[in-house]
Amino acid sequence: MSMFRAMTLIIAVAGGLGLSVSAGLAAPAAAQTASGADTAKPLSSSEIYRIYSHNSWMWKDGAGYFAVSKRQFKAWSGRGSNASAGQGIWFITDPGKLCFRATWYEKGTSFPATTCFSHREKNGVIYQRKEPNGDWYIFKHAPARKGDEITKFRRGDYVSRQLDRMMPAMASN
């Protein structure tokens, strides 16, 4: 698999955040977002756990599930020749940081990847960025607004059924 394809899959599976954030924010809002995050405090481990545990993060064409049991992480993204699936674990590291380490599969190949997101809060607004050097953006306004990334979380497992359908095709050549 080419490095370009691997990076494309990681970005797509992480929710397509770079595309949706850059397309959805005007320049002044982006500047305000970055300056707000600079003075915000990292979320605690328990706050991160409450956001992600036993929830599915619904993406444009896929989802990721953060199971409580053994902190399993499962995800799928895309369809047909663009389909990929991931299985691994999720964990909380530094204050405010969530990571998932998974083996990603696409038809006939697999590769390991670790993806991390940092979270900060100020005055009820939660900021998020993809590590190591993504741009900060508003993950949740105070109060939450339609379109906030946090509104894409659903309680329960919305991943396993689709993942079970996809995995046999991922293993074939």
Condensed to tens digits (0 to 9), the pLDDT of residues 158-167 reads: 999 999 999 8
Residue 9 predicted with pLDDT over 50: no
Question: With bands split at pLDDT 50, 70 and 90, how would you rate the model's confidence at 15?
Answer: very low
pLDDT of residue 157: 98
**Structural domain of residue 95, as residue ranges?**
3-171
> For residue 108, how many other CB atoms are within 10 A of its CB?
11
Check if the beta carbon of residue 160 is closer than 8 Å to that of residue 140.
Answer: no
What whole-number distance in Å separates Cα of residue 138 and Cα of residue 42?
14
Q: What pLDDT is recorded for position 2? A: 40
What is the tens place of the pLDDT at every residue in 60-98? 999 999 999 999 999 999 988 889 999 999 999 989 999
Number of domains composing the chain: 1
Going by the DSSP 8-state scheme, the letter that residue 134 receives in this structure is P
Nearest alpha-carbon partner for 43 in 121, 129, 100, 99: 121
